[in-house]
DNA sequence: TACGGTTGTCGAAGCGCTTCGACGCAAAGG
DNA sequence: CCTTTGCGTCGAAGCGCTTCGACAACCGTA
């Protein structure tokens, strides 16, 4: 393994000079810089990460905590993870992958050991156990063992109390409103919402509830009757849910779906029942773009901007690490793309 | 930040004693051990990762390289990633997430900097650029700059030449054979294979070709006519592909699908054309269990054992790092689960 | 000519940990 | 009784890097 000292010797300068060439923290003459860079290349030198972390107390690593359970939105998680990794690299950071498994202990461990300089948490729950460990200035002065003050972090998702936290998320409230308004404008009066699996609501992952909130207030404003039903996803569960909905509200002509794995089954079922999309019923989905485009009917949808969220999260975190940025909640504005699954409501019988 | 020295002082012992308590590399009296452990708990001590890595030249980190493109099998990748992370933690390792983006440079960087002790590569291509950097003993003696000899690694997937490498993968050849045999036994004589997107074949990701191999030799042995068509996935592409297949081979009664995003469209299209599954046509899928179970018809399938692959990969890598294990290729035996999508071929008209 | 101000380089002191050799002490052996 | 053995502990030497203060050489200015 090549060391700084060897590079220095090879280039005929001191170790500190090589270090300064690498970090750019002091000015170096053109001549020396080139000699050093040449030696680095020639010897194939890579700075030792451990030594660097020890000396500078910066690991240049960002920890990403992903949820262990994958009952929803796997492609979204993946897309976020990839965006995080890519963006992080662009800023000189690597990404450490943590699963939710360890819970708050993971936060303590990573923060305490200086393994990562900061962390990004996905799938935050409304009252997440990990939040007290992350909250900034608001902490009481008493030193709590194992809890380093103020571990820089960014959340993807929105907890109940965002004070002292930095968060990035899609504005799901606005998303809900947008969906129902779109249907209302098209003349739909009875709209059914096919939601996430009941477990998702029970877990109090805020986004599902916030969407519902938006849907409800949008419905109220535009005089639409709304029926919300959670759904496990999959064909059988969807069949059951759809039957219940149509039984309860036979005049339903609009659907809002927020559950990837219910989308295709719903379309199949509607087709089977002779309800044409979009002539008889309209469907609006909240899902990644790819799902909307690849579905058997190209879906009018609000996209979940996974990449953007990942990118934002990293950029805010890096800014925080550089002391350039405070706590802040960024809600991305939803965009509804009209495709082939929504149209004017059929005139009433 | 609490240091070893502080713990030592608090417990009234020397720093090295604390270190030995932590590592268990020398015997420690019951009494001392307990006092030290108590101090550690009380102070909330976490060893500094950088210092540890520097002193021991072991980072306790495993790098996982995932493909950047997500044109296929996203849930499988995710499942593998999570299995890797979980298993790694169980062995005291953390996981660094790398995207394919950097290519071979990532290998050089990580190996050279001692960031990770070993790496796991997913989505290996037949002639992968990264392989020469990983290959073990076979390397010529001349020191190649930037290429540390013998970076411990495990591949998930199978390259063309596996010499000096450790690999884990599903036995896709056997998988293909298994699928076609199943259909043959049921009396199907004309089988169509709906494959991955053309791009996947062009990229020479071995698994697609190996499956095809297995399918072909299975077909030969059991006297089945086989027609293979790549397919982009999604409804429209599937419609086109299906039309071509039925045009070319109108008597096709068996389908093997190796493309998650083509499964549901295929079922929808068959339904639409009045071809009943499994009465008129049988469908066998190569896909994760979850997809098979959630589809609109419960699919006879060969599962892709993502979790198992992740777990194996980590366990082999850890064994290698402990010097307990050599190079080896592990091919997991496929298992075909019969569900509701396959049945006896209809008697010929 | 002498002066403060840059600019470029160096030496040395750590960062927090692991690990090696040394040492004191009790138990076991002659 | 003294030696040997092994156990439990300690001190010190690094691991490879960053960073601070020092300093020599040079500039322009007084």
pLDDT single digits (tens) A33-50: 999 999 999 999 999 999
pLDDT of residue A64: 97
B48 touches strand D (CB under 7 A): no
**A 78-107, residues with C-beta < 7 Å of strand D:** none
A113 touches strand C (CB under 7 A): no
Assigned CATH for A61-170+307-332: 3.40.50.2300
Which three-class secondary structure state does DSSP give residue A309?
A: helix
pLDDT averaged over every residue in chain A: 91
A53 touches strand C (CB under 7 A): no
User: Cβ separation of B97 and A101 shorter than 8 Å?
Assistant: no
Residues of chain B found within 8 Å of residue A48, distances taken between Cβ atoms: 54, 113-114
Which three-class secondary structure state does DSSP give residue A226?
A: strand
Give every strand in the sheet of A94-99, ordered side by side.
Answer: A329-332, A167-170, A153-156, A118-122, A61-66, A94-99, B94-99, B61-66, B118-122, B153-156, B167-170, B329-332
Candidates A347, A340, A224; CA nearest to A278 is: A340
Read off the tokens for A106: 């993971």
pLDDT of residue A4: 97
Give every strand in the sheet of A282-287, ordered side by side.
Answer: A225-229, A190-194, A254-257, A282-287, A300-303, A336-337
Answer yes or no: are the C-beta atoms of A88 and B99 closer than 8 Å.
no
DSSP, res B125? B
Most confident of A232-236, B188-192, B343-347: B188-192
| Residue A12 Cα, gap to closest chain B Cα (Å) | 19
In angstroms, the CA A297 to CA A338 distance is 12
B136 touches strand C (CB under 7 A): no
Residue A349: is its pLDDT beyond 60?
Answer: no
Is there a cis peptide before residue B221, judged by omega within 30 degrees of 0? no
pLDDT of residue B149: 52
Q: What percent of chain A has pLDDT over 70?
A: 94
User: Cβ separation of B268 and A265 shorter than 8 Å?
Assistant: no
* C1' of D12 to CA of B321 (Å): 29
Query: What are the backbone angles phi and psi of residue B61, rounded to the nearest 5°?
Result: -130, 135
Bases along strand D below 7 A from a protein CB: 7-12, 14-21
Q: What is the rounded radius of gyration, in angstroms, for the C-alpha atoms of chain B? A: 26
Residues of chain B found within 8 Å of residue A68, distances taken between Cβ atoms: 82, 86
Residues 269-298 of A with CB under 8 A from B: 271-272, 293-297
Residue B345: is its pLDDT beyond 70?
Answer: yes
Residue corresponding to tokens 């020396």: A32
Which three-class secondary structure state does DSSP give residue B177?
A: helix
Alpha helices for chain B (secondary structure H) = 4-11, 15-23, 30-43, 49-56, 74-90, 104-113, 131-134, 172-185, 198-202, 206-222, 235-248, 260-272, 289-294, 306-321
Positive or negative, the CA dihedral A23, A24, A26, A28 is: positive
In angstroms, the CA B252 to CA B268 distance is 17
In angstroms, the CA B87 to CA B314 distance is 7
Confidence grade of residue A317 (pLDDT, cut at 50, 70, 90) = very high
Q: Which chain A residue's Cα is nearest to B78?
A: A78
Assigned CATH for B172-304: 3.40.50.2300
Strand spans (E) along chain A: 61-66, 94-99, 118-122, 153-156, 167-170, 190-194, 225-229, 254-257, 282-287, 300-303, 329-332, 336-337
CA distances from residue B102 to A97, A264, B65 in whole angstroms, order as listed: 18, 36, 10
Residues 49-88 of B with CB under 8 A from A: 49-54, 57, 59, 61, 64, 66, 68, 70, 74-75, 77-79, 81-82, 85-86
In angstroms, the CA B252 to CA B261 distance is 21
Minimum-distance nucleotide, CA of A48 to C1': D16
When pLDDT is averaged across residues B187-204 and rounded to a whole number, the result is 92
Residues 96-115 of A with CB under 8 A from B: 96-99, 101-102, 108-109, 112-115
B113 touches strand D (CB under 7 A): no
First vs last C-alpha separation in chain A: 80
| Burial group, residue B88, by CB count within 10 angstroms (0-12, 13-18, 19+) | buried
A205 touches strand D (CB under 7 A): no
In angstroms, the CA A169 to CA A178 distance is 16
Residue B198: is its pLDDT beyond 80?
Answer: yes
A55 touches strand C (CB under 7 A): yes
Answer yes or no: are the C-beta atoms of B50 and B83 closer than 8 Å.
no
| Burial group, residue A295, by CB count within 10 angstroms (0-12, 13-18, 19+) | buried
Q: What is the rounded radius of gyration, in angstroms, for the C-alpha atoms of chain A? A: 26
Residues of chain A found within 8 Å of residue B75, distances taken between Cβ atoms: 70, 74-75
Model confidence pLDDT, tens digit, residues B73-115: 788 899 999 999 999 999 999 999 999 888 899 999 999 999 9
Residue corresponding to tokens 């004589």: B189
When pLDDT is averaged across residues B42-63 and rounded to a whole number, the result is 97
User: Cβ separation of A78 and B77 shorter than 8 Å?
Assistant: yes
The 10 Å CB-count burial string (b at 16+, else e) for B96-129 is bbbbbbbebebbbbbbbbbbbbbbbbbbbbbebe
In angstroms, the CA A117 to CA A127 distance is 24
| Residue A273 Cα, gap to closest chain B Cα (Å) | 12
- Residues of CATH 1.10.260.40 domain(s) within chain B? 4-47
pLDDT of residue A141: 41
Confidence grade of residue A136 (pLDDT, cut at 50, 70, 90) = low
| Burial group, residue B274, by CB count within 10 angstroms (0-12, 13-18, 19+) | exposed
In angstroms, the CA A86 to CA A91 distance is 9
Strand partners, B303: B287
Q: What percent of chain A has pLDDT over 90?
A: 76
User: Cβ separation of A86 and B96 shorter than 8 Å?
Assistant: no
Residue A144: is its pLDDT beyond 80?
Answer: no
Model confidence pLDDT, tens digit, residues B130-187: 998 888 544 444 444 434 457 899 999 999 999 889 999 999 999 999 999 999 999 9
Answer yes or no: are the C-beta atoms of A227 and A247 closer than 8 Å.
no
- The domain covering A4-47 belongs, at the CATH homologous superfamily level, to lambda repressor-like DNA-binding domains (1.10.260.40)
Neighbours of A96 (CB within 10 A): 22
pLDDT averaged over every residue in chain B: 91
Read off the tokens for A73: 């939105």
Answer yes or no: are the C-beta atoms of B272 and B243 closer than 8 Å.
no
B25 touches strand C (CB under 7 A): yes
Q: Which range is least confidently modeled, A157-161, B6-10, B14-18?
A: A157-161
pLDDT of residue A71: 64
Residue B69: is its pLDDT beyond 80?
Answer: no
Most confident of A66-75, A210-219, B138-147: A210-219
When pLDDT is averaged across residues A258-284 and rounded to a whole number, the result is 93
When pLDDT is averaged across residues A148-156 and rounded to a whole number, the result is 80
Answer yes or no: are the C-beta atoms of A69 and A99 closer than 8 Å.
no
Residue B295: is its pLDDT beyond 50?
Answer: yes
* C1' of C21 to CA of B336 (Å): 61
Residue B291: is its pLDDT beyond 90?
Answer: no
A54 touches strand C (CB under 7 A): yes
* Longest CA pairwise span in chain B (Å): 90
- Residues of CATH 3.40.50.2300 domain(s) within chain A? 61-170+307-332, 172-304
Answer yes or no: are the C-beta atoms of B342 and B179 closer than 8 Å.
no
User: Cβ separation of A53 and B52 shorter than 8 Å?
Assistant: no
Most confident of B130-144, B199-213, B243-257: B243-257
């Amino acid at each position: 393994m090549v060391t700084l000292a060897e590079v220095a010797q090879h280039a005929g300068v001191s170790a500190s000079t090589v270090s300064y060439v690498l970090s750019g923290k002091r000015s170096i003459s053109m001549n020396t810089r080139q000699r050093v860079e040449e030696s680095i290349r020639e010897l194939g030198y890579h700075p030792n990460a451990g030594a660097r972390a020890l000396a500078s107390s910066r690991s240049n690593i960002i920890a990403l905590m992903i949820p262990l359970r994958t009952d929803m939105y796997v492609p979204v998680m993946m897309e976020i993870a990839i965006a995080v990794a890519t963006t992080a690299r662009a800023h000189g950071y690597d990404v450490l992958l943590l699963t939710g498994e360890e819970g708050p202990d993971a936060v303590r461990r990573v923060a305490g050991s200086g393994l990562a300089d900061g962390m990004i948490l996905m799938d935050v729950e409304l009252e997440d156990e990990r939040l007290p460990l992350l909250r900034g200035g608001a902490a009481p002065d008493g030193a709590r063992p194992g809890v380093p003050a103020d571990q820089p972090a960014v959340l993807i998702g929105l907890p109940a109390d965002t004070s002292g936290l930095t968060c990035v998320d899609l504005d799901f409230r606005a998303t809900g409103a947008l969906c129902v308004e779109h249907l209302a404008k098209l003349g739909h009066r009875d709209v059914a919402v096919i939601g996430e699996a009941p477990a998702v609501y029970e877990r109090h992952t805020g986004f599902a509830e916030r969407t519902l909130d938006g849907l409800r207030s949008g419905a109220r404003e535009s005089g639409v009757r709304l029926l919300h039903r959670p759904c496990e996803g999959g064909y059988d569960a969807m069949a059951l849910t759809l039957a219940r909905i149509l039984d309860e509200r036979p005049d339903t002509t609009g659907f809002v779906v927020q559950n990837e794995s219910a989308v295709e089954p719903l379309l199949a079922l509607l087709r089977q029942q002779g309800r044409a999309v979009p002539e008889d019923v309209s469907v609006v989905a909240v899902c990644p773009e790819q799902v909307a485009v690849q579905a058997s009917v190209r879906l009018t949808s609000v996209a979940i901007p996974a990449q953007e969220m990942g990118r934002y999260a990293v950029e805010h975190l890096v800014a925080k690490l550089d002391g350039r940025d405070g706590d802040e909640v960024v809600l991305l504005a939803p965009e509804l793309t009209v495709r082939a699954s929504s149209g004017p409501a059929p005139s009433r019988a």
